Amino acid sequence: MTYTAKRQNMPEKGRGRSGSRASGRPRGGILAGIAGGLLIAACVYEGGIDTPVTRKFTWFSYVSGDDIRAACQPGSPEKYRIVYNARYDEQLRSYEILGDAIDQGGFVTARAQGRASITNLSSDDLLAPWRWKKAQGRLDEQEMARLREALAQAGFYGQPEVGLELNSKAFYWAAVGCVDGKFYFGGWQDPSTAFKALRFPEILFARDGTGLAVNPPRPLNPIELGRTSGPWQDRGGDIPRFLITVGEDGLQGGGLGFRSPL
């Protein structure tokens, strides 16, 4: 899968003067923002998400589950990757669940990261402010069964909502998995009936030992969603919004998400 900016998501040429979308936006800010967005999508994920640089360069591929898809075949262990994007610049959470074929339970690795703070800077680890908080635990047979049921109720094992755009500036869940040799994927974005009906988050949060409080969904305005024109710095964060789209064959990343104002 190739991760490149979608042509339809890019700003129109010749609209950088007065009265255009780019009016009042420093050129350096544009280039820095685009560069930041492209860094997120530059490489295929092959492991090492605990390293901040790896997350920055492979985020699209990680969320899309390219590594899980590549290894998914008959006889492969049951595996899920479920990501909570609580506005990319504010908080990210990831849950990796590996099924245990012996007793039908599973092992869960929870990761969470909030806003980076220089108060966490250490001479021993200069990347500490950008590292995940991580915890590992176990789901027993009943908890694993509840998780599968909750995913089924969310439509994860059925037909995904093709065309849904998951906005990095919004609140959404994305999930991929390998079950019985078949690869599954899906996405749910707030506000929506489907998002509010999700039951698997409460199961995951109950087994989250990272110690970082969950950033709950809240109403957002067009500026916070990165959909308005105006100065770059007013769009809510150092990185412009980018989109992950639910496609017919998987989650597809790469669009920087420039759109007309609402």
**pLDDT tens digits, residue range 134-190?**
999 999 999 999 999 999 999 999 999 999 999 999 999 999 999 999 999 999 999
Instruction: Show me where the domains of the chain are located.
Output: 7-255
Cβ–Cβ under 8 Å, residues 57 and 261: no
Does the pLDDT value for residue 4 go beyond 80?
Answer: no
Cβ–Cβ under 8 Å, residues 131 and 113: yes
The alpha carbon of residue 128 and the mean position of all alpha carbons in its chain are separated, in whole angstroms, by 21
Give the C-alpha distances (Å, rounded to integers) separating 149 from 65, 134, 152, 179: 21, 26, 5, 13
The pLDDT value given to residue 78: 98
The pLDDT value given to residue 260: 29
Report the C-alpha gap between 112 and 128 in whole angstroms: 13
Report the C-alpha gap between 171 and 86 in whole angstroms: 5
Q: What is the pTM of this model?
A: 0.78
Q: How many residues does the chain have?
A: 262
